[in-house]
């Protein structure tokens, strides 16, 4: 049916002088997302970006991929044809028949835009002509110009574009227009969503994953790798780093109070993440923390945990309920993988009664029992790229 998609991007227009940069970044990202398809052209014409294919049968998959490209607000699948009255009528009828099969239609409206004033038939006339043809062919539908079930648009420019469906894009800003951040990616539900939300604001991400093998399974690594692959549809290719923090857990278990385990371990994770980010020239961290969801995510816990580093931390899901986060996880396709039963941390190291109101002084005192620099060096040497 469709051979072209018109892409519209909302916020990019607000960016004034940067608009050109954003547009070319967006075109680059669309081309990258569609590199598996043959004979696809992505180009700009009269202020709009178009994706055109020579293979109509690819269109559905092209739309699916393009829907995941940040910066796109709406996708308008269209039929591009030459400006010829007979062909326009034929294609409008064809599209209408297709729409009737897809949805329940009682009322419709035809809207013609004649950008090319040389085209001999005026907008109103063409709309009336097409409307009449549809009424004659499909007896069950009537015209409603105020609140129709479907609106078929005929746009006459350099070529003629016929469209009706409007598909919601991923929104946000094109990747690579706002810097880079390091996502602390666990196997859970929240952190992939957090990465998605920040990437959606144009930020390129890399990810860091902590595990305690052999107290956790290699399958947990595979699970995180799978989450990375799902996120890459949105975020583009990125690096997934892994660090084995078993030695840290051992040291904490040996020298510190059990209830402090989570806070202490999180402080180490932050230090390790900051170290990696600094080495990679990354300016911010991202976590999937949601206020009050677990012991380490209370206000007081976060104050104590973040005290261990200087780097700013982005927490895009901080104010969201679990159900809201789950909804996004389902939408972006990470949910089913996140709920697989392979944990990134063994319950052996989870305290029975973790602190929810830790005191910085007593945490610092406990850390006095540990050789922090040596532990960091030791586990940092396990750093690998998965």
Partner 1 sequence: MEIYLDNSSTTKVRKEVLNEIIDINENYYGNPSSIHRKGLEIEKKITQARKSVAKILNAKQEEIYFTAGGTESNNIAIYGLLGNLNDNNNIITTKIEHPSVYNIFKYFEKKVNVKYLNTDEQGKINLDELLSFVDENTSLVSIMLVNNEIGTIQDINKVVELVKSKNKKTKIHVDAIQAYGKIKIDVNKTMVDTISFSSHKIHGPKGVGGLYIRHNTKLTPSIFGGNQEKGVRPGTENTPNIVGFGKACELVYENFEEEQKKLYDLKQEYAKRLIDEIENIKINSCLNEIDGAPHILNVSFKNIRGEVLVHYLENLGIYVSTGSACSSKAKTDNRILSAINLNPDYLDGTIRISLGYFNSFDEIEYVVKSIKKSVEEIRNIMKM
DSSP state of 109: E
- The residue among 167 and 350 lying less far from partner 1, judged by its C-beta, is 350
Question: C-beta of 228: minimal distance to partner 1 in Å?
Answer: 22
- The residue among 246 and 302 lying less far from partner 1, judged by its C-beta, is 246
- The residue among 233 and 340 lying less far from partner 1, judged by its C-beta, is 340
- The residue among 170 and 245 lying less far from partner 1, judged by its C-beta, is 245
DSSP state of 134: H
| Ordered DSSP codes for 191-260 | HHHHHHHHHTBT-EEEEEEEE-TTSS-HHHHHHHHHHHHHHHHHH-S--EEEEE-HHHHHHHHHHS-GGG
Question: C-beta of 310: minimal distance to partner 1 in Å?
Answer: 31
Counting every residue written for the chain, the total comes to 386
Question: C-beta of 259: minimal distance to partner 1 in Å?
Answer: 15
- The residue among 91 and 249 lying less far from partner 1, judged by its C-beta, is 249
Question: C-beta of 129: minimal distance to partner 1 in Å?
Answer: 58
State the residues that interact with partner 1 by CB under 8 A. Answer: 213-218, 250, 253-254, 341, 343, 345-348, 350
| Ordered DSSP codes for 138-174 | -TT-EE-SSS-SEEEEEEESSSEEEE---EE---SB-
- The residue among 180 and 250 lying less far from partner 1, judged by its C-beta, is 250
Question: C-beta of 224: minimal distance to partner 1 in Å?
Answer: 16
Q: How far apart are CA 356 and CA 350, in angstroms?
A: 14
CA distances for 353 relative to 191, 258, 262, 277, 344, angstroms: 24, 8, 10, 32, 20
Question: C-beta of 370: minimal distance to partner 1 in Å?
Answer: 13
């Amino acid at each position: 049916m469709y051979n072209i998609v018109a892409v519209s991007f909302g916020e990019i227009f607000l960016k004034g002088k940067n608009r050109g940069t954003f547009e070319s970044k967006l075109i680059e990202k669309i081309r990258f997302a569609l590199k598996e398809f043959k004979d696809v052209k992505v180009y700009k014409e009269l202020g709009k970006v178009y994706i055109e294919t020579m293979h109509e049968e690819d269109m559905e998959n092209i739309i699916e991929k393009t829907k995941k490209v940040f910066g796109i607000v709406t996708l308008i699948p269209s039929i591009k044809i030459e400006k010829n009255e007979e062909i326009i009528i034929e294609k409008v009828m064809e599209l209408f028949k297709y729409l009737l099969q897809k949805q329940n239609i009682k009322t419709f409206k035809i809207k013609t835009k004649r950008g090319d004033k040389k085209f001999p038939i005026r907008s109103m006339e063409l709309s009336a002509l097409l409307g009449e043809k549809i009424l004659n062919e499909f007896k069950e539908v009537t015209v409603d110009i105020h609140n129709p079930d479907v609106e078929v648009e005929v746009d006459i420019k350099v070529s003629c574009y016929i469209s009706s469906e409007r598909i919601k894009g991923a929104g946000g800003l094109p990747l690579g227009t706002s810097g880079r951040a390091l996502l602390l990616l666990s196997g859970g539900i929240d952190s992939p969503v957090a990465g998605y939300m920040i990437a959606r604001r144009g930020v390129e991400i890399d990810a860091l994953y902590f595990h305690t093998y052999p107290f956790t399974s290699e399958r947990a690594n595979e699970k995180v790798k799978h989450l990375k692959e799902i996120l890459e549809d949105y975020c583009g290719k990125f690096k997934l780093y892994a660090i084995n923090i078993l030695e840290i857990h051992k040291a904490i278990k040996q020298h510190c109070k059990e209830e402090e385990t989570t806070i202490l371990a999180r402080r180490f994770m932050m230090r390790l993440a900051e170290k990696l980010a600094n080495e990679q020239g990354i300016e911010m961290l991202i976590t999937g923390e949601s206020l009050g969801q677990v012991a380490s995510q209370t206000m007081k816990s976060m104050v104590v945990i973040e005290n261990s580093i200087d780097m700013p931390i982005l927490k895009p899901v901080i104010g969201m309920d679990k159900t809201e986060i789950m909804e996004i996880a389902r939408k972006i396709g990470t949910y089913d993988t996140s709920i697989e039963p392979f944990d990134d941390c063994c319950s052996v190291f989870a305290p029975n009664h973790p602190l929810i109101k830790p005191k910085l002084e007593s945490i610092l005192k406990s850390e006095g029992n540990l050789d922090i620099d040596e532990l960091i060096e030791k586990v940092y040497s396990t750093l690998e790229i998965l």
